[in-house]
Structure 1
Amino acid sequence: MASSVGVEGAPEDKSVLHVVVVGFHHKKGCQIEYAYPPLLEGQPPDSHDLPDEWKYLPFLALPDGAHNFEEDFIYFHLPGRGGSKKTVYGVSCYRQIDAKDLINREADMTRETVQKSVCVLSHLPLFGLIKAKLELCTVAYFGERDFSKVTILKELHDNLSGLLCSDLIDGPQVFIGLSARDLVLRFKHKLLVIFKLLLLERRVLFYSSPVGRLSTTLLSLLSLFPGVIQQGLSESVSHKIGTQISTELILSDFGIDTEEYLEVQLSAVSGSTPEVEKMEVEEAENELKALSSSENGLTPRSSDGENVGDTGGMIESDVTPKSSPILSPSPFPTDEFGFPLAVFTKFGFPLAIFTKGSVCHPYLALQHHELLQDVNIRSFLVGATNILFKQRRHLTDVIVDIEEDKIEIYDAELRKQLHLHTADLRFADFLVKHVVEERDDIFLDGTGWEGGDEWVRSQFCLYLLSLLSTTENGAQETNYHDFNAQFVEAYKTTHNYRLWKATLHDGIDAMHTGHPFMGQYSAADIKLRLSHVMQNTERGKRLGTAVAKTGQAVNSAVQQTGKAVGGALNQAKSAMSNWWANLNQDWKAPEGE
């Protein structure tokens, strides 16, 4: 088959490749039950055979742990076929139904419930749009209570083929279901840490359950990078197939002896190191001194390192950066949602983050775990729902636990590179305030787009442009400090930056050089810094716990003292009343006589 054909019999420009049904067999596990058109040329639609490139498809469409949920969905990536490097984008919706409710129950359906998924494979990254159509079809397919009725699946294929076209990826439809606003609400200030982490092309694992939330979070995160969803994932699962660290790697390497496991022992991971904690505390002290100096007419430079993590709340005081914050819409032409139109050609977007051995899988099946050990994979961004992936932490640089809202960074140098400087903290706090702030008719009034999904993406676009402009035009390295000089130097060694640097970009010269929130320290910065230290270092947490316990002890003591004093006063008052009553009786007796 010619390389211009990504799937046998299907040219690469075909929008919808297949509609597939995946079921769970009690003996064979997950398997293909139906495909339209057939996955292999010459095979019937109900063939269980799979192309070699898509051998993990059943485990992606019906993911690990799916039996724990009545229904859910998943976004995933597959490699191209026939030598093609083009990514195939998958969307799957799965549901359960009681076997007793089926009109046509097959003989091998031995369990009380039947679970199946309906999956669409496409060449277009229109995840949310496909999901919206697929969910309706899946409900109708299960509503038939007879899985042999596949007419609705053929109609879905034909309907989507007529609806989806490449022009849609240049419009707002590409972001349907990918909420940048939800990212800010979930990660708050940590979102900027994750954003900068992905620029560094490291080995990053996201962990969460259910899988729908996991895969949506990863793709929503990628939507913050201009053009990545539209064009930057086309080679995100393509890499050279070669020798692996262990060619005989089996599931027992993960501690699995059978299909079921009872208990997993996880070793404790220290969230911080004494060296980093000491540096963070010293930075807080230095910033306080810098504020005093600035009050005497001196303009301090931003400190070199900041802590990674949340602030534990928004800062009440307004931030007053030297330069104007990114409050207004983008300074270059935008579409109706405020997203820049010319960024692809003028600024060199999308950045080539997922190319040349850097892969992205919104969900990685446990059966595909050997990918993490492939020596040809230099970096990855993958999502997983199985806790066993977390156990193999030596294969990753960072694990982001969405459920626990925790970022575990195992490389001390990487921790320093991801420290947020004061200007970064201002930017993150600015985002959080505008997203959390309640507004009336946010999408209807003239400025209501502020705090919305496209507004958040525009802010990250401008942040990235400022960073690139600073590296390109910032002759003085002092301009790097607001972005963290260690981060900038590390970023300049990445593949995506070197590729961007090798090409001239006309628009970058017109962009602002320096951090958009650069400026003198203020009292709000000190409050922000102290909040960071208290919330995100072990020493700060211990101090905060001690203060809280002391406060509770003091309150308890005051209450006990109040009770004791109050009890004594009541007893004295009661005694005085009795004495006065007796005295009155003594006076009344003689008068009666």
Structure 2
Amino acid sequence: MGAGPPIAGGFSPVSSSADSPSARSDHTILGTGTPSKRSTAASLGTLGGGLGLRVRVRDGDVPLVLGVAVVDFNHLIGPTVEFAHPASLAEALAADDELSRLLPFLALPDGAHLSEEDYSYFHCAFNPRAGAEPNTEVPWGRTIFGISCNRQIAASDLLHKSSDVTRSMVQKAVIVLASQPVFGPVRDRLGVVTRAFFAQRDFGSTQILHDFYESLEAGLEGKAGENAIYMGTSLRELVHKFRHRTLVLLKMLLLQKRVMLFGYPVEMLCTYQYSLVSLVPGLLMNLRDCGSPMLDARTQRTRPTSLRTSDRASLLRYMGLPLHLFGADAVFQPYLPLQQMDMLQAHSWLIGTTNQIVTQQRDCKYDLLANIETMTFDFPDSKVERLVALTAADRKWMDDIVKTVEDTWNLPEGERPGFLGSDDDLRNRFEEYLCAFLASIKYADFVGRRGSQDPAAAGVSSPGEPNPLFHFGEAFTASFRQTPAYELWNSTTDEVIFDLTEPRHPMEGKVNAFSDVGIRLAEGLHDLKIEESLAPTRAAVSSAFAAGSSSLFRAFDGVRSEVNNRLEAEKARRAAAAAEREKNSPNGSPSGSRPESATALAPSTPAAANRPASVASNRSGNSTGAPTASPNASPGIDVRTTLGSVGSSISGFFGSRVASFSRATPPPPPPEPRRNSGRNSGLRPMSLAGSATAASPKKPGT
């Protein structure tokens, strides 16, 4: 049984005992090079016996923290356990080959390399092989609860790199095993220790893990109660995520159907399942049989003989709670690796997975697949979907819960919700719902047995009263009566528990058809995710509108600026032209300018009034029929160009035409006079109008 020297009474890391891959395979717990059972047991047993712990654990004397372990992902032989502390845990791993084989895959989930840090919650059971008598504090015949924190580091950053590190990244996970699901108090401490363990850059130094185990033992003392266990759940997150379908999940759980949650990250996947289980009062503290289909210790439960109404735990026991949902042939595994797919053959399970291969098993088909990434529910059998469909009272009840959570969800930073909408408030509401459901079952059975002989024997019934199970769903209730959980509950509870809880739905008498239609429409619109779908479109439209508005405003500013610039330039040009004319004129009068009287008398006829100003001035200034270009014509046209680029183009067009008419060429001979010349004189060309009125040639002899 010779092996490398153990480290401070713990599990000797493989890297410290051997450096070669061949030597490492002698200590491999799982992989292609798995050694024989005897060699594995011998090495682990010797390494775990460093403290010489040989104490037989009695029933009921189980420590809360069972130990700390480290799992390494070896690229040559697969994931392995390379460290375990205390010696009691190493002894248990040596005696149970199945536990030592599965533990690395439970701690290092699929896709662990995709994130910098992630957590995995899992369940396992200690079942030593035949003939082994380990001296360990790890209990057998019950569930062991594990939580792991996995991280990765670049191989080049390690201070001491062993020869079996062949890739650029090194993945490891630090595990805490406990006898109760105290994930909430452990989770934050585990994350801090894991980050510090990686920050050392030397995985051979495990003293920090020894200190972590000792601090957990002291820090969790007296924290195995209900409040400590609920710290790892978030009912607000569950209701915010699944909304009305939270009750659908609970009904599937009560019917002991096969429920599978799929998605990533692993921690969120596991937290949703624990939050769902916590909706059943007391169930989270009674999961000792959920780790394996072979475990079933709670079937020996007997009917309570006493009741203390001031004690909540006594009231719950009298009501038959918690329901035994995970017993024989039932499994609850928050994270299920491929190596545990044989568990899918159980009759009932609640599992989570990140691998689509698990979701595609035809021989072990699920009853409900809930995708936490797309928020879709897949029911292969429509009959099951109808069994768990919400009634009008259920929808109204869940709608009040959802509104309470949504109203207190986006609070200002640093502000927490009060009791209304808190986890305690939600837990109390679901407890009230479940107790009312169970009391209604007992009440319906009581009335059915008594018939019409004594309808008011219990003081709560009256003739013609409707069935109290109607608002919970009669088909759902009938299916619940066929479950093993109902059989055990019915046989261990009193017949008149409805004396403690009113046998009626919390929303009975508070629902009408119109409000139910509104709830259906509102939830249907929410399921369509219109807000999420239109968010990119809304953002694009807003961005385009803002960009278009800015461009339009810039265009207007540009036009206005251009007009102002043209006006200023025109004023400066006219001032310069006026100064030049004054300078060149001896008498101070601009050359070539016409008198104001001529300008006023120019448009004397209708035809002349419609002519351009430059043509009219030519006609009045020169009556001989030889028009010349007026020096004032151009400034008049240029002033109008300041109205914009369009006006400038138009004035340029007319300016070119005027220039062509102003050439010093003799006018063409006048046309022969016609009988209707006076009527059509207004239609003649503008250049001919002046010639016709200035001189009328006469024929000889007339």
Q: 1:184, 1:432 within 8 Å by CA — same for their partners in 2?
A: yes
Q: 1:68 aligns with which of 98, 114, 122?
A: 114
Q: 2:66, 2:89 within 8 Å by CA — same for their partners in 1?
A: no
Q: 2:608, 2:616 within 8 Å by CA — same for their partners in 1?
A: no
Secondary structure at the aligned position of 1:96 is classed as: strand
Following the alignment from structure 1 to structure 2, what is the Cα–Cα distance between the partners of residues 206 and 343? 32
Residue 56 (str. 1) matches residue 25 (str. 2): no
Following the alignment from structure 1 to structure 2, what is the Cα–Cα distance between the partners of residues 479 and 442? 44
Following the alignment from structure 1 to structure 2, what is the Cα–Cα distance between the partners of residues 405 and 75? 21
Q: Deviations over 1:114-142 (max 9, x none)?
A: 11000011112101111122111111111
Residue 230 (str. 1) matches residue 285 (str. 2): yes
Secondary structure at the aligned position of 2:224 is classed as: helix
Secondary structure at the aligned position of 2:610 is classed as: helix
Q: 2:373 aligns with which of 403, 408, 424?
A: 403
* 2:403 counterpart residue number: 433
Q: 1:397, 1:410 within 8 Å by CA — same for their partners in 2?
A: yes
Residue 499 (str. 1) matches residue 488 (str. 2): yes
Following the alignment from structure 1 to structure 2, what is the Cα–Cα distance between the partners of residues 522 and 207? 35
* 1:518 counterpart residue number: 508
Query: Structure 1: which amino acid aligns with 2:438?
Result: L
Following the alignment from structure 1 to structure 2, what is the Cα–Cα distance between the partners of residues 420 and 35? 48
Secondary structure at the aligned position of 1:55 is classed as: helix
- The within-5 A match list for 1:135-284 is 135-165=191-221, 167-231=222-286, 233-240=287-294
* 1:356 counterpart residue number: 328
Q: 1:226, 1:349 within 8 Å by CA — same for their partners in 2?
A: yes
Query: Computing the radius of gyration over CA atoms, which structure comes out larger, 1 or 2?
Result: 2
Following the alignment from structure 1 to structure 2, what is the Cα–Cα distance between the partners of residues 443 and 510? 40
- The offset of 1:459, in angstroms, is 0.9
Q: 1:489 aligns with which of 469, 475, 478?
A: 478
Residue 381 (str. 1) matches residue 435 (str. 2): no
Secondary structure at the aligned position of 2:322 is classed as: coil
Following the alignment from structure 2 to structure 1, what is the Cα–Cα distance between the partners of residues 241 and 98? 38
Q: 2:123, 2:146 within 8 Å by CA — same for their partners in 1?
A: yes
Q: Which TM-score applies when normalising by structure 2?
A: 0.58
Q: 1:443, 1:449 within 8 Å by CA — same for their partners in 2?
A: no
Residue 18 (str. 1) matches residue 67 (str. 2): yes
Q: Check 1:234–1:482 CA distance in 2 against 1; reply closer, same or farther (3 A cut).
A: same
- The offset of 1:108, in angstroms, is 1.0
Query: Structure 1: which amino acid aligns with 2:396?
Result: R
Query: Structure 1: which amino acid aligns with 2:193?
Result: C
- The within-5 A match list for 1:67-146 is 67-82=113-128, 84-146=140-202
Q: Deviations over 1:503-552 (max 9, x none)?
A: 2347542212111112241522222234556777xxxx8xx9xxx9xxx9
Q: Check 1:134–1:458 CA distance in 2 against 1; reply closer, same or farther (3 A cut).
A: same
* 2:588 counterpart residue number: none
Q: Check 1:146–1:48 CA distance in 2 against 1; reply closer, same or farther (3 A cut).
A: farther
Following the alignment from structure 2 to structure 1, what is the Cα–Cα distance between the partners of residues 279 and 214? 32
Q: Check 1:49–1:31 CA distance in 2 against 1; reply closer, same or farther (3 A cut).
A: farther
Q: Check 1:508–1:444 CA distance in 2 against 1; reply closer, same or farther (3 A cut).
A: farther
Following the alignment from structure 1 to structure 2, what is the Cα–Cα distance between the partners of residues 401 and 366? 18
- The offset of 1:391, in angstroms, is 1.4
Q: Check 1:481–1:105 CA distance in 2 against 1; reply closer, same or farther (3 A cut).
A: same
- The offset of 1:492, in angstroms, is 1.4
Q: Check 1:585–1:69 CA distance in 2 against 1; reply closer, same or farther (3 A cut).
A: farther
Following the alignment from structure 2 to structure 1, what is the Cα–Cα distance between the partners of residues 611 and 420? 82
- The within-5 A match list for 1:525-540 is 525-531=516-522
* 2:361 counterpart residue number: 392
Following the alignment from structure 1 to structure 2, what is the Cα–Cα distance between the partners of residues 468 and 81? 36
Q: Check 1:587–1:420 CA distance in 2 against 1; reply closer, same or farther (3 A cut).
A: farther
Q: Deviations over 1:452-505 (max 9, x none)?
A: 111111111111011111111133773222111100110111111221111234
Q: Deviations over 1:320-377 (max 9, x none)?
A: xxxxxxxxxxxx869xxxxx5544323221110011211100111111112213xxx2
Secondary structure at the aligned position of 1:137 is classed as: helix
Residue 586 (str. 1) matches residue 642 (str. 2): no
Q: 1:442, 1:449 within 8 Å by CA — same for their partners in 2?
A: no
Secondary structure at the aligned position of 2:223 is classed as: helix
- The offset of 1:27, in angstroms, is 1.0
CA RMSD of aligned residues (A): 3.2
Secondary structure at the aligned position of 1:177 is classed as: coil
Following the alignment from structure 2 to structure 1, what is the Cα–Cα distance between the partners of residues 231 and 362? 33
Q: Which TM-score applies when normalising by structure 1?
A: 0.68
Q: Check 1:412–1:145 CA distance in 2 against 1; reply closer, same or farther (3 A cut).
A: same
Query: Structure 1: which amino acid aligns with 2:327?
Result: T
Q: Check 1:532–1:161 CA distance in 2 against 1; reply closer, same or farther (3 A cut).
A: closer
Q: 1:459 aligns with which of 420, 429, 432?
A: 429
Query: Structure 1: which amino acid aligns with 2:368?
Result: V
- The offset of 1:51, in angstroms, is 3.4
Q: Check 1:10–1:109 CA distance in 2 against 1; reply closer, same or farther (3 A cut).
A: farther
Secondary structure at the aligned position of 2:369 is classed as: strand
Q: 2:68, 2:209 within 8 Å by CA — same for their partners in 1?
A: yes
Q: Check 1:8–1:112 CA distance in 2 against 1; reply closer, same or farther (3 A cut).
A: farther
Q: Check 1:525–1:584 CA distance in 2 against 1; reply closer, same or farther (3 A cut).
A: farther
- The offset of 1:175, in angstroms, is 1.3
Q: Check 1:9–1:23 CA distance in 2 against 1; reply closer, same or farther (3 A cut).
A: farther
Following the alignment from structure 2 to structure 1, what is the Cα–Cα distance between the partners of residues 388 and 326? 20
Secondary structure at the aligned position of 2:177 is classed as: strand
Following the alignment from structure 2 to structure 1, what is the Cα–Cα distance between the partners of residues 77 and 609? 97
Q: Check 1:73–1:42 CA distance in 2 against 1; reply closer, same or farther (3 A cut).
A: closer
Secondary structure at the aligned position of 1:110 is classed as: coil
Secondary structure at the aligned position of 1:238 is classed as: coil
Q: Check 1:110–1:448 CA distance in 2 against 1; reply closer, same or farther (3 A cut).
A: same
* 1:36 counterpart residue number: 85
Q: 1:27 aligns with which of 61, 76, 80?
A: 76
Following the alignment from structure 1 to structure 2, what is the Cα–Cα distance between the partners of residues 28 and 448? 52
Following the alignment from structure 2 to structure 1, what is the Cα–Cα distance between the partners of residues 525 and 209? 55
- The offset of 1:38, in angstroms, is 3.9
Following the alignment from structure 2 to structure 1, what is the Cα–Cα distance between the partners of residues 473 and 68? 47
Q: Check 1:487–1:113 CA distance in 2 against 1; reply closer, same or farther (3 A cut).
A: same
- The offset of 1:158, in angstroms, is 1.4
Query: Structure 1: which amino acid aligns with 2:290?
Result: S
Q: 1:21, 1:116 within 8 Å by CA — same for their partners in 2?
A: yes
Q: Check 1:382–1:8 CA distance in 2 against 1; reply closer, same or farther (3 A cut).
A: farther
Following the alignment from structure 2 to structure 1, what is the Cα–Cα distance between the partners of residues 471 and 252? 16
Percentage identity across aligned positions? 32
Q: 2:84, 2:90 within 8 Å by CA — same for their partners in 1?
A: no
- The offset of 1:98, in angstroms, is 1.0
* 1:469 counterpart residue number: 439
- The offset of 1:84, in angstroms, is 2.8
Secondary structure at the aligned position of 1:355 is classed as: coil
Query: Structure 1: which amino acid aligns with 2:70?
Result: V
Q: 1:441, 1:448 within 8 Å by CA — same for their partners in 2?
A: no
* 2:623 counterpart residue number: none
Q: How many residues align?
A: 441
